[in-house]
Amino acid sequence: MIFPCIDLMDGKVVQLVQGREKALEADSPEEMLRRFAAFPEIQVIDLDAAMGRGSNSDLVRAIASKAVTRVGGGVRTVERAQELIEQGARKVIVGTAAFAASGANVPFLEALCDAIGRERVIVALDSKAGRIVVKGWQESTDLTAESVLESLAPYCSGFLCTYVDKEGMMSGTDLEWFRRLREATPLEITAAGGITTLDDVRALMAMDVHAALGMAIYTGRLSLEELAGLLEARH
């Protein structure tokens, strides 16, 4: 599966480099949805919510009413997750709140699964310099993605694994890291961060890893038509 990404900040569709520096503003969400119409599901991240400075709830609701979505950004309470489901999200992506100092934040994850169902939960494993980062990638933990997969697995339907070191830099990704993660869990894995070429996407698909694509689409480095063709060829 290929998931085009819509990242929201200040009411606009944006792309950031390394989660900090805004590289570009894109067309309206409606226009992006029109361009992404060939893809069965869209990934939506509310960056303002992730960074704890408000939210883009109206835009999320508008997008979710027109497309199948997996939505993340600032999901730090069960209530926030329920709100996103009510707004129309098919799945909710949880990052920071999924972790305690020693690993999985089990009480929160149990409550989340009870509230919205395990099948709707995706845990974000955002990794920088080999360590999981949280709070909009602004804080590093002592945990590695590989070390927490097993303990998180009972509480989610899959993982969104972002290789933050390459995020937004258009310089390729770390396919070996994704291969190690793939071998470590039977659950769905979606790769993000630095995926730049069709060869990257093909390599991920060959190892049964989904691809979430942002910067490479928005800059035209990857053609939506060619990506849609890859998806069709798989079916």
In the set 7, 46, 48, 200, the catalytic residue is 7
**Is 165 annotated in the active site?**
no
**Is 7 annotated in the active site?**
yes
Quote the CA–CA distance of 165 and 157 in Å, as a whole number.
25
Quote the CA–CA distance of 59 and 72 in Å, as a whole number.
13
How buried is residue 208: exposed, middle or buried, by Cβ count under 10 Å (0-12/13-18/19+)? exposed
Q: Yes or no: say if 93 and 60 are a contact pair by the CB < 8 Å rule.
A: no
Six-digit token pair at 116? 């919205």
Quote the CA–CA distance of 142 and 133 in Å, as a whole number.
9
Quote the CA–CA distance of 2 and 4 in Å, as a whole number.
7
Quote the CA–CA distance of 154 and 30 in Å, as a whole number.
36
In the set 27, 126, 165, 200, the catalytic residue is 126
Catalytic residues: 7, 126
